Amino acid sequence: MKKELFPNAYSDKLFEQVYDYLLERIRRGEWKAHDKLPSVRVLAAEFEVHRLTVFKAYQLLKENNKVYVKDKSGYYVQPGSVLPPAVQQDPIVSAYVHESHLSEIHQVEAVYQFSKALLDPNLLPNRYFSEYVKKVFDLYPKVLGTYSTTQGDAELREALSRYFTDRYRFDLTKDEILITSGSQEAIDLIARVLVKPRDVVLLERPTYSPAIDVFRRQGASIIPIEITPDGYCLEQIEEMMQNHKPRLFYMNPTFHNPTGYTVPAEQRKRLVDLAAEYHCLLVEDDPCPDIYFGKAPPSPFFAYDTSGYVIYIRSFSKYISPGLSIAMVACRQGIMNYLIKAKSLSDNGTPLLNQKIFLHYFFSERMQQHMEKLRTALAIRKDIMEEELSGTGWQWRSPAGGFNLWIKLPESVLMDELLGKSMEQSITFVPGTICDPLRELNSWIRMSYSYLNEQQLREGLRRFVSLFRELFGE
């Protein structure tokens, strides 16, 4: 009987589908290291494809060091291609999640959580929150018994399209907005819809750690693009676009996580033009444009886009209401149709109650006034962190917004030891390696000043610096 390959694969090249089929099974451990794989003849008959198609798939596996050839007797599994048994044991995990580095750190319970780039819940206007919840139940008495549409509540999408048109002159209708449960879901949906194995994806270096895990899981070939306080090197990006035809560039250009850098306005327009010229989508992840300490950042890339090459992800969960977990994706209709289908497979729509509460809370006068207070509170916390670290000799660029300090420790630091001992003392931070697509940046760390109150910040930092001196004497 004919075996189905990947019925929903995005590739129309048959040999790539055979390649994906074989690789997935090798990774899952269905064949072990040094096992002999089915012959070209057998697979060609099973799949009802030409032998050359299977031969090409094996050649590619060989080039990518997944299989080797022995004595002309056939193909064998190269050791190292099989996922570790710990991952394989659970067939659901092995078929889906490969790694999720940041969530592992977040699961550690600690008093001094410098790893959490989230808002201290005490900084939100919690006392007034019940008013909005009550208002929602009064206005929509059936809200608890109603599903949202998959794309998201029309009233909320209408309000957001007006907001972005007024604020940044976005050319955006409500049909070009998808509501998601946080921007993490948005990144995941975009990766599923747009990226197939071996597609080239550009990622900033460093970047938001879970994005590396998501695009890796998709089987993408990742090319790192350095981000510096001055933005990107556009010549490097153009060369990569020309030579490697990337599918997309995932970026976080405003108060970048983890560095805090912002890509200047001049580069934004030029990069949008390059994207259109080389047919590379720009996925702009924008979780905290309102958290600035001096002047507001430049308009998002989406505002410069006239050709539909920018997909804009805007989270509202980071500093407005983490508990509601609301984000949106803005993009043109073609991609939107695919995203809606993917979202319907994921959860059929973000909870309507969350969307309605968010709508009334976000657009209220109180929330908008609250933003000013929030900026001041976070600027004070950033200053405290910088003051506490000022005597250490460690290096960082003072961020103009966002939640994090990206810190360079002395090269001699042993990161595993520092992280392990810190956790023993109830202190967490994010090691730079997990933010690096190349898994280097061994002496960098991300510390967030947004989650702890002023007293905890000072106390935790003092403990951390003294632990560091104890361990490394610097």
Residues that bind ligand PLP (CB under 6 A): 117, 182-184, 208, 252, 257, 285, 287, 315, 317-318, 327
Cβ 183 to ligand PLP shortest distance, Å: 4
- What's the closest the beta carbon of residue 101 comes to ligand PLP, in angstroms? 13
Specify the residue, 117 or 400, whose C-beta has the smaller distance to ligand PLP.
Answer: 117
Q: Would you say 161 or 184 has its CB closer to ligand PLP?
A: 184
Residue 105 C-beta: closest distance to ligand PLP, Å: 12
CB of 403 to ligand PLP, least distance (A): 8
Name the residue number minimizing CB distance to ligand PLP: 182
To ligand PLP, the closest distance from the beta carbon of 103 in angstroms equals 11
Shortest Cβ 327–ligand PLP spacing (Å): 5
Sort residue 450 into left (φ over 0), alpha (ψ -120 to 50) or beta.
Answer: alpha
Give whole-number Cα distances, 339 to 311, 348, 436, in Å: 11, 12, 27
Report the first-to-last Cα separation within the chain, whole angstroms: 68
Q: Which is nearer to ligand PLP, 404 or 443 (CB)?
A: 404
- Euclidean distance between CA atoms 214 and 217, whole angstroms: 5
Q: Which is nearer to ligand PLP, 315 or 350 (CB)?
A: 315
Q: Residue-wise over 451-468: b if at least 16 C-beta within 10 A, else e?
A: bbeeeebeebbebbeebb
Nearest to 436 by CA among 460, 458, 418, 415: 415
Indicate the residue among 113 and 184 with the shorter CB distance to ligand PLP. 184
Nearer to ligand PLP, 54 or 328 (CB): 328
129-142 CB burial, b ≥16 within 10 A, e <16: eeebeeebeeeeee
Task: Please say which residue, 197 or 431, places its beta carbon nearer to ligand PLP.
Answer: 431
Cβ(270)–Cβ(234) below 8 Å:
yes
Nearer to ligand PLP, 61 or 329 (CB): 329
Question: What is the closest distance, in whole angstroms, from the C-beta atom of residue 397 to ligand PLP in the complex?
Answer: 18
* Type of residue numbered 21: Y
- Determine how many CB atoms are found less than 10 A away from the CB of residue 366: 11
- In the complex with ligand PLP, the residue whose CB is nearer, 47 or 361, is 361
The pair of structure tokens assigned to 131 is 């008013």
Paired tokens of 7: 């019925």
Report d(CA 64, CA 76) in Å as an integer: 13
**Shortest Å distance, C-beta 404 to ligand PLP:** 9
User: What H or E segment, with its residue span, contains residue 294?
Assistant: none
Phi/psi-derived region of residue 173, left when phi > 0, alpha when psi is between -120 and 50, beta in every other case: beta
Smallest separation, CB 207 to ligand PLP (Å): 8
* Alpha carbon distance 30, 209 (integer Å): 29
